[in-house]
Amino acid sequence: MAPALAAPERVDAMNEMRRTMPANSGPALTEPDVIIIGAGISGLYQLYRLRELGYGVQVFETGSDLGGTWYWNRYPGARFDSESYTYGYSFSDELLQEWSWSEHFAPQPETLRYLQHVADRFDLRRHIQFNSRVVSAHFNEASQRWTVTLDTGAQHNCRFLITALGPLSADTLPRIPGVESFSGQSFHTYRWPHEPVSFAGKRVAVIGTGATGVQVIQTIASEVGSLTVFQRTPNWCAPLHNRPITEEEQSQIKGNYPALFALLRTTPGCYIHNADPRSVFEVTPEEREAFWEQRYAEPGFGIWQANYRDILTDPKANALISDFIARKIRQRVKDPAVAEKLIPKNHGFGTRRVPLETRYFEAYNRENVRLVDINETPIERITPKGIKTSDAEYEFDMIIYATGFDAITGAFDRIEFRGIGGQLLKDKWADGPKTYLGLQSAGFPNMLTIVGPHNASTRCNIPRCIEQNVEWVTDLMRHVRDNGINRFEATDAAEAEWSHHIETLAEGMLYAQIDSWATGINRNVEGRDQRRILQYQGGAPAYREKCDAVAAQGYAGMKLS
């Protein structure tokens, strides 16, 4: 069989062509081997790896610069909930040694600078065309190529298509009448302006109290004239305990990376936190109270990820930890009526993603902050002047929509992916995604979905799982190159088996019984009112083992030709 990849001369010619282009611009390749959609953490790393293999790679990115999540989410207070030093790429020792994180949980501008540094250091920009939104990608049976169309109408053909869309990149405004009519400033947190936004003296509304809303509220409360939070569902938040990294800690971190990354490979979410093997009921009430006090006083996700093993599966165990956190909220919020509103009643602790906070609850003790429970007094409409609820009309200078995303599959729905026979991916996934390993979907040959649905990465300290996804894809692409393979795709049987496996792993998990983005609920989007299993729940180590076993068996479950 003829080698499937472009001849080395062609690769050299393409590389030469790029070398002569100004960085960050220039005509995109019309016939690259691979097109990657998205220049966030995953797209950048996939580009780096495939270029190493000699593939001609073209990345298209909607934004005017790289960074994905960290490019878009510039809202006040945006920062990591993962320890900074667990978040960076692990593939380059030099990079690890030269980059110094300033805080244990770095803020968004620093993370964006880090990704820009990575792109510059490894000379990645010249393969990326910015301001280029992909609107469709169609597989052509006759030519065995994907045709990718941009919003400009430009078309590019490629043999392999890799989506690096991000799980939380399809932002959604609330379905409330009058959103367009507001005459003041209004922003979705994901679309935050690049220019500074002044809050001084302004009457500001925030709608939404997920991890994003919590960060915004706690950050701007002291800057605004007045802040009114419109809350539909309170979330179980826990303290972040962020602080600067000292020089001594910095040298410990830099001297310890191999051991750190080895540890992260063993925990279910690739955090430094690992579940305690004991049940809540194996310890005395005094012991567990002391244990929870300790966890609550520690930085990061320990209270969620390093808790007793049954808090996320046994409703009785979950009720005990929920009660502990509720008591903390009552201690921290001065007005008992406000405290009760801030305590979730319809889901237990940890069954939705836990927002980590810094004096979030204390924000509600301020004179200039007011909480409106929209279950009691629903929002009726947005007006030119502000927000009208069933019992009052509020006037604002600014409305901030921290209303979340059409998560995990939403970004796929916004691009017209058509596979064999013109099948639309959106239609195929209408009742929930169907995938193999969360990396492919049958009927869509030569297409790989890093950080896609049914993948472990969306329940993970994401760069760690991104690296796993990308390295698996890179091994596959090496196999394709070395064996002259023109086409690969998941079999229907392997896809059915994997999709069933995903469903069974979620059985017995409390999160699966709760409405949240992780179960695919977003009532701002037509048809997103039924829970779907979107994530691999077996933990990152088990997921990696499954993927590795498939590769070791010569890509079992896939047709390669």
Where on the chain is the footprint of ligand NAP (CB under 6 A)?
79-81, 168, 174-176, 207-213, 215, 232-233, 353, 374, 402-404, 517, 524
Closer CB to ligand NAP, 81 or 83, in the complex: 81
Coil, strand or helix at 29: coil
- CB of 80 vs ligand NAP, minimal distance in Å: 5
- CB of 131 vs ligand NAP, minimal distance in Å: 24
> Which DSSP symbol is given to 355?
P
Structure tokens at 265: 């490979």
Three-state SS string over 429-463 comes to CCCCCCCECCCECCCCCCEEECCCCCEHHHHCCHH
Contact (CB, 8 A) for 343 and 326: yes
- CB of 346 vs ligand NAP, minimal distance in Å: 9
Rounded CA gap, 515 and 233, in Å? 10
- CB of 343 vs ligand NAP, minimal distance in Å: 14
Closer CB to ligand NAP, 417 or 517, in the complex: 517
Rounded CA gap, 188 and 183, in Å? 15
- CB of 195 vs ligand NAP, minimal distance in Å: 21
Structure tokens at 482: 């070395």
Structure tokens at 194: 């690049």
Closer CB to ligand NAP, 174 or 538, in the complex: 174
Contact (CB, 8 A) for 438 and 551: no
Rounded CA gap, 41 and 466, in Å? 8
Contact (CB, 8 A) for 443 and 420: yes
- CB of 479 vs ligand NAP, minimal distance in Å: 33
Rounded CA gap, 410 and 211, in Å? 19
- CB of 191 vs ligand NAP, minimal distance in Å: 12
Number of Cβ within a 10 Å radius of residue 294: 11
Closer CB to ligand NAP, 387 or 494, in the complex: 387
Closer CB to ligand NAP, 163 or 209, in the complex: 209
258: CB partners within 8 A, 6+ apart: none
Closer CB to ligand NAP, 70 or 429, in the complex: 70
- CB of 408 vs ligand NAP, minimal distance in Å: 11
Closer CB to ligand NAP, 209 or 318, in the complex: 209
DSSP H stretches of helix in 4-98: 8-19, 41-52, 69-72, 93-98
- CB of 524 vs ligand NAP, minimal distance in Å: 5
Nearest to 517 by CA among 84, 172, 266: 172
Rounded CA gap, 152 and 104, in Å? 42
> Which DSSP symbol is given to 511?
G
Rounded CA gap, 371 and 363, in Å? 10
Closer CB to ligand NAP, 59 or 379, in the complex: 379
> Which residue minimizes CB distance to ligand NAP?
210
Closer CB to ligand NAP, 209 or 441, in the complex: 209
